[in-house]
A = this chain, B = another copy of it.
Amino acid sequence: MSDGGDGTVGKALSVLDLVAAQERPIRFAELHRMSALPKATLYRLAQTLVSQNMLVQDPETGAYSLGVRLVRLAHAAWRQASLAPVARPFLDQLSAETGLTVFLAQMDYGYVLYLDRRNARDAAATFSDAGKVGPAYCTALGKAMLAYLPEDELEQALGQQSYYRFTPTTLGSAAVLRQALERTRARGYAREREEHEPGAIAVAMPVRAADGRVLGAVSISGTTVQTDIRRLEGLVPRLRQTVDRVSREASHWEFPVEGETEREGRAV
């Protein structure tokens, strides 16, 4: 939407977003149709992004898709995101012990951004899940984080929810959600009972910094076929232990040491 603001750079990034939102390579004309930017401007921006390897252009059709430079940058982003690499071993353990699927996520503009997933059963790639976004108002992860957000951020986040009723149990408004968050705080963990997808249930707890700031959340999830909410709630103490450990490691980690940065390869 709009032009991204922040001058040329913002516009360029809005073009990236537009291409990212696409399922398949997108031709210039189509891009132009959705972009609000004038043709020549858009054209030059796209060219610039291609020359910067942020976009790639199909040699045949000229259609644009996202470039590999992004994958590289994201690897670095993930590595730097303190939470994900730190949480890794703990998620492994939790998933192995419970035999259920474990997610790590953080808030991103009112959405739940998945950082990692661990599944005891299959060795499925987590990459395809990291970077995904989902709604906050109807997931255990989202509610776990919302419940401990400071009032101003919560206010903002509540306004960004769609409150679309995915299922009969979906919370349908900010007011109802607020009450649910109240109960979440009282209970100490968040529950999700088929509010987003039929058959999907989960419990989640926030990972908080020493100062109380919400860094992210961890969930244990399953289907009504393989488990039930009672059993998940029984795992809450174990979940609590996990988020505590992640939290401790994360704060511990913040500034590893102001030493030289060791590098194996040469930067390109």
Instruction: Give residues in A with beta carbon < 8 Å to B.
Output: 1, 4-10, 12-13, 16-17, 19-25, 45, 48-49, 51-54, 65-81, 84-85, 88, 92, 95, 106, 108-111, 113, 115-116, 118-120, 122-128, 130-135, 160, 162, 255-256, 261-263, 265-268
Contact = CB atoms under 8 A, between A and B. Distances in A.
Contact of A66 (B80, B134, B162): B80
A122 B256 CA distance: 28
A106 B24 CA distance: 19
Nearest to A253: B24
B113 A123 contact: no
Given A13-B54, A74-B70, A128-B88, A48 B6 contact: yes
Nearest to A120: B123
* Closest 7 pairs between A and B when the two form their complex, measured CB to CB: A75-B131, A74-B74, A66-B77, A20-B76, A70-B77, A123-B123, A23-B261
A124 B126 CA distance: 9
Contacts of A131: 71-76, 78
* A51, A75, A116, A124, most chain B CB atoms within 10 A: A75
Contact of A111 (B23, B75, B268): B268
A221 B158 CA distance: 48
B68 A106 contact: yes
Contacts of A133: 72, 265, 268
Contacts of A132: 75
A52 B4 contact: yes
Given A20-B80, A24-B80, A88-B125, 19 more contacts: A5-B51, A6-B51, A7-B8, A8-B9, A9-B52, A10-B52, A13-B54, A16-B73, A23-B80, A23-B261, A24-B256, A53-B108, A66-B80, A71-B113, A78-B128, A95-B123, A123-B123, A127-B130, A134-B265
Contact of A65 (B68, B80, B88): B80
Contacts of A263: 21
A58 to B, nearest CB: 8
Contacts of A74: 70-71, 73-75, 77, 131
5 contacts: A9-B52, A66-B77, A71-B77, A162-B265, A162-B266
